A and B are shown apart, each in its own frame.
Chain A
């Protein structure tokens, strides 16, 4: 098993770069929230962002699909390229970008609609389905990928808000993958879940790695160690260290990283 993971990780470092961020600065009005962050995120890799609260990891994540655009006072500088294309270019429509870069939020937020409609909404607005049967297929595929199909297949038309917290979060993951994104951003997806639901979601993240570049923000270092191949440690808006997960947790170069991992700061 160990060997498998090691080779896997080596492979992942050799993977193509999916997202390349260089010199990213984010300001909330006068507050300098992200300071000169450079990071290359590989395809078909799980990259974890760790760090104490308020260190800017969620803010940086939200830059990757331009969700920060919805905040008036937020200003982003620097270069973020996905597949070599600058996503902050004037010609880029954030709506199209978000179809390519899906997002799962901290709190499960299904639409107050049926389970089926929750998943079908994205494909519908992007015109991914040509017929009702086609849409049914997409929904089933997405729910299977979200590892929730078996639990909901008999009640697809029950409201999505009636599911348990863990089920809701997996439904949201299914909803995010239904639009066939290339990158999946997860903002603390397990913080509202119990340990069993967390384990299910983590397992799911590992499976999603086959098809997507996954970026996950987490407070739990154990979780980062369990699911990710690469880890980035943020502190006070700076990217302190970014390396293979193994290296970060066993042999961190920066003293701040070591203090955080051993629990002295954070």
Chain B
């Protein structure tokens, strides 16, 4: 016990623990600085995100509402017969509409002059719509009916304050007197704002009708493309990675394949577009602008992502599990499918969803296979038509709108981005739910 009395050599003898020495202070300062950098980086990232989200919402929300003219009136049988009897039927209907509107306006005690030309400038060709409605629903004749007619984009922009009186040059599109009518109708509650279901369910329209343009058809186009991508890239990608990771001999050839897969993941997407054009359309003669071709091209693009993430998650499964399965006499395939794959499933799903999200937002390859432009005009009716009929996809539709000259389409583009993001969020939520289900604790 004499050893106990020997004092061990002490560094910095006699120094109090209560005061930091210079070295400690320096280290602590470095740590504080590093933390501050981290916080600054997060704040910068967050502020970008907030800026992005607010600008998308501010610009995009108006696309979901629509300025409508609400008119309630009854078309009598005599009026119907009279209009059908004339030579210019639609203009006869317009006249009827104008007279009814005038009635309503004067009933409210407003003093504005409404004529057929002004109505046409404000609402487009009303007569045709009315005639169509009564031809299709003859039983509505003699009944009071509610009409919601979309106002022209200029009216909308006037109400939003983007178009001022000084900017209006009298002409074919809008006259200053029309703005008086608009003001009066707004006061009377005839012009109101309503949720625009047509934007979500509708199809693309011509360049002269931004108000009627909807993203519905291209949502369906995107949906069919995602179906193709999912059903091709997931099985092909997972099968390829299982073979490479678990079965393939490790030699120069498989090394080469591995390097090439990593390189493919970095190939610009437009290259895949050219490849798709050459192989699927020019060589295999698949139809242009078809979601099937789009899906095939995006499958090529998504495969490397899925292969890389699947291989990484297969590698992460501890080898002891494989040993255990082989040790009880499972075949290689049984050990992979019964034990390794279920454990790798969460990682595979994460990779798949990242790949799908990339594919969903991809525009460049679609440019080359003709899915950009005035394509999303019609709804597909069924699976085959959904895959083979010309359609667009959400990002391509957004691109198309953003490229048009009428400013009203920009708003639609912003609104389209919101729909795209919602679609993406839905996909992510499904993936998270699936992953939770597959996740196992050890």
Contact = CB atoms under 8 A, between A and B. Distances in A.
Given A112-B440, A161-B442, A70 B322 contact: yes
A92 interface: no
User: Chain B contact residues (Cβ within 8 angstroms of A): what range?
Assistant: 20 to 34
Given A121-B338, A125-B334, A109 B323 contact: yes
Which of A104, A121, A178 has most B Cβ within 10 Å?
Answer: A121
A95 B329 contact: yes
B438 to A, nearest CB: 12
Interface string B71-82: 000000000000
B328 A121 contact: yes
Contacts of A102: 327-329
A236 B331 CA distance: 33
Contacts of A105: 320, 323-324, 327
Interface string B318-361: 10111111111111001000110001000000000000000000
Contacts of A159: 441
A7 to B, nearest CB: 34
Given A112-B343, A112-B442, A172 B329 contact: no
Nearest to B322: A70
B334 A109 contact: no
A2 interface: no
Nearest to B323: A105
B250 interface: yes
Contacts of B324: 105, 109-111, 172, 175
Contacts of B441: 112, 159, 161
A20 B338 CA distance: 34
A68 to B, nearest CB: 11
Main secondary structure of the interface of B (DSSP, over half): helix
Contacts of B331: 95
Contact of A103 (B250, B327, B334, B440): B327
Contacts of A232: none
B249 interface: yes
A122 B328 contact: yes
B315 to A, nearest CB: 15
Contacts of A96: 329
A159 B440 CA distance: 10
Given A112-B440, A125-B334, A72 B250 contact: yes
Contacts of B343: 112
Interface string B215-249: 00000000000000000000000000000000001
A125 B327 contact: no
Contacts of A72: 249-250
Contacts of B318: 109
A98 interface: yes
Rank and list the top 5 A-B pairs by shortest CB-CB distance, nearest first.
Answer: A99-B329, A122-B328, A109-B320, A103-B327, A98-B329
Given A121-B330, A161-B441, 11 more contacts: A65-B327, A67-B323, A103-B323, A105-B320, A109-B318, A109-B320, A111-B324, A122-B328, A125-B328, A126-B329, A179-B329
26 contacts: A67-B323, A72-B249, A98-B326, A99-B328, A102-B327, A102-B329, A103-B327, A104-B327, A105-B320, A109-B318, A109-B324, A111-B321, A112-B321, A112-B440, A121-B325, A121-B338, A122-B328, A125-B328, A125-B329, A125-B330, A125-B334, A125-B338, A126-B329, A161-B442, A175-B324, A178-B328
Interface of A: 65, 67, 70, 72, 95-96, 98-99, 102-105, 107, 109-112, 121-122, 125-126, 159, 161, 172, 175-176, 178-179
